[in-house]
Chains A and B, each alone.
Chain A
Amino acid sequence: MSNMKDIYTAGVWEDNPVFRQMLGLCITLAITNKVVNGVTMGVAVFFVLTASAFIVSLLGESVPRRVRIPVYMLVIATFVTLVYMFLKAFFMPLSQALGAYVGLIITNCIILGRLESFSSDNSPWDSIVDAAGVATGFALALIAMSVVRELLGFGTLFGVQVLGSGWTQWVSMILAPGGFLVLGLLIWVQRSISPVEEG
């Protein structure tokens, strides 16, 4: 089953949605100022992506080409609504912290991109593995960003003070400029470890 493994690791590292494909940056920049937000968003996207990839790959050729995007949107929206209501019911503070961004998973180009380019013409199992890989890559990117930003911005991890109470908060890390800086630096790191092959 090395093929499955390749599909998975490609999504996690070589074709990482954030660092390589530069997709889903809106969410990445907006919610990564706390690790909890990053983890929640990562799990939410994992669920939505794998579930809708499975459904879409089952639909396969039975959807006419012309209406495929609306159909995908419906599938995605169903799962996003589930996540949205679940968060509201059981994790109200988190739901408030993430605000509109849970709902905006519907328009996340990572999900639509995977459904369009992979799930629509691959077997259900391959699709799930691919979706899981890409979602893991996305979640890891979110967590990496939010660890740096929360650590410098608040001196905490998961809300627990780790850098001592005298830590001077790096305010810009909590705000948008820190998001852009950390994203740029992490892209630099990721591409230094495995350079992009210029084609």
Chain B
Amino acid sequence: MNKLERLLSEISSYTEDHPYLRYITEVIDTIRSIVFEPGVSAEESPFLRDYIEIKRYMFAVVVAVAPAALASIYFYGWRALAMIVVSYVAGGIAEVGFTLIRKEEITEGFLVTGILFPLILPPNTPLWMVAVGIIIGVILGKEVFGGTGYNIFNPALVGRVFLTITFPVAMSSEWLIPLTGGWAGFNQFSVDTVTSATPLGVFANAGTLAPLRELFLGNIPGCLGESSALLVLAGGIFLMLARIIDWRVPVSYLGSVFLFSALGMYLWPNQVAPPLFQLLAGGLMFGAMYMATDPVSSPTTKEAKWVYGVFLGVMTVSIRAFSGYPEGVMFSILLMNMFAPLFDEMVMTLRYGPIEKPYK
């Protein structure tokens, strides 16, 4: 035990019995369990061979999105970092405040939501909107259901969908042209060159396709984290190799987008974009790697993951082609989140027979 850990545990045991300070015990314990191991250990079997728990999972996801987050600073300037900071601060206050009032344990789940949320926003989003979105996402998307592990929907996407329907202009028409060359965005705070559409928007309106190479490397307008499909893919593959996320969801999602857009392009050539363009444009790669694989809101059984991914693909292609929105990843993931428990239950029923429900 080093000094800091001893200090924290002393503070924690002191505040526990203090009449007023006991409310902050949870905060101290959370800091301790993020920096060190939690203060409790198992007293009877099963014992752990490797100490892996939510904290390490969450940390791995943060590491995996780090390249995309750095790239967002490169493309859009330091303002991108400001958005991430605002998201962490505002969401953190909402999370800690809520759990303190409810006298529940603060969980590490927010570490991931806090960085994923700003990365799925347009780079020009006002900072106060970032704060509103993350607070709505944390409270209405997660805490009202009982906190980390109990949410039906992905909290970051709940915040994003709220912003989308609440501030449609800011969320869908003010895109920035990314910077490239040299240190690009690392030299400046923000980008001023406003454009009106993302590659998907351009396709929906004019029918022209952005070059695939640009889509893959990232020199295209879009949300902060989705610019470069390459970096998102790299992060996703890292997570799959580390067994943090299950490869079945991204593979079936991307695969079904590929298949159904190929089929759709044959049937409705004017509305459905070609498969490779669909894969690389917009938030699909980001959604498939970091959002659809959310361990809480996606199905648990293997077969259900395949079904889930296929449905996600069908919905994404359909929304992109036939709805008023040029992009459909967010809506399809949220809609399928709703069906995730149902898919699981169907798989369990097929495998083990009817399930006895704990409720009536």
Q: Chain A residues in contact with chain B, CB under 8 A?
A: 168, 170-173, 175, 177-178, 181, 188
- Nearest Cβ on chain A to B358's Cβ, whole angstroms: 18
**CB <8 Å contact, A177 and B140:** no
Q: How many residues of B contact A (CB 8 A)?
A: 10
Q: Which of B22-30, B105-113, B163-171, B344-352 touches A?
A: B163-171
* Dominant SS among interface residues on chain A: helix
From B140, B162, B165, B167, contact of A168 by CB (8 A)? B167
Give the shortest distance, in Å, between B127 (CB) and chain A (any CB): 13
Contacts of B162 in A (CB 8 A): 172
Q: B interface vs A, CB < 8 Å?
A: 126, 129, 140, 144, 162, 165-168, 170
Q: Check B140–A171 contact: CB distance below 8 A.
A: no
> Which of B129, B165, B166, B168: most chain A Cβ within 10 A?
B166
Q: Which A residues are in CB contact (< 8 Å) with B140? A: 181
Question: Would A171 and B170 count as touching, CB distance under 8 A?
Answer: no
Q: How long is the Cα–Cα vector from A124 to B140 in the complex, in angstroms? A: 45
User: Would you list the 5 A-B pairs with minimal beta carbon distance, nearest first?
Assistant: A172-B166, A172-B165, A170-B166, A171-B166, A177-B165
Chain B residues lying within 8 Å of A173, measured Cβ to Cβ, are 166
Q: Could you tell me the distance in whole angstroms from the C-beta of A55 to the nearest C-beta in chain B? A: 43
CB nearest to A153 among chain B residues: B166
11 new A-B pairs (CB below 8 Å) besides A170-B166, A181-B140?
Answer: A168-B126, A168-B170, A170-B167, A171-B165, A171-B166, A171-B168, A172-B165, A172-B166, A173-B166, A175-B165, A188-B144
> Shortest CB–CB separation between residue B69 and chain A, in angstroms?
26
Q: How far is the CA of A172 from the CA of B166 in the complex (A)?
A: 4
Please indicate the chain A residues that have their CB under 8 angstroms from the CB of B126 in the complex: 168
Closest A residue to B168 by CB, please name it: A171
CA gap between A173 and B166 in the complex, in Å: 7
Q: A172 contacts which chain B residues (CB < 8 A)? A: 162, 165-166
**Which residues of chain A have C-beta atoms less than 8 A from B129's C-beta?**
168
Contacts of A178 in B (CB 8 A): 166
A193 shortest CB reach to chain B, Å = 14
Which chain A residues border B165 with CB–CB below 8 Å? 171-172, 175, 177
A-B contact pairs, 9 of them (CB 8 A): A170-B166, A171-B168, A172-B162, A172-B165, A172-B166, A177-B165, A178-B166, A181-B140, A188-B144
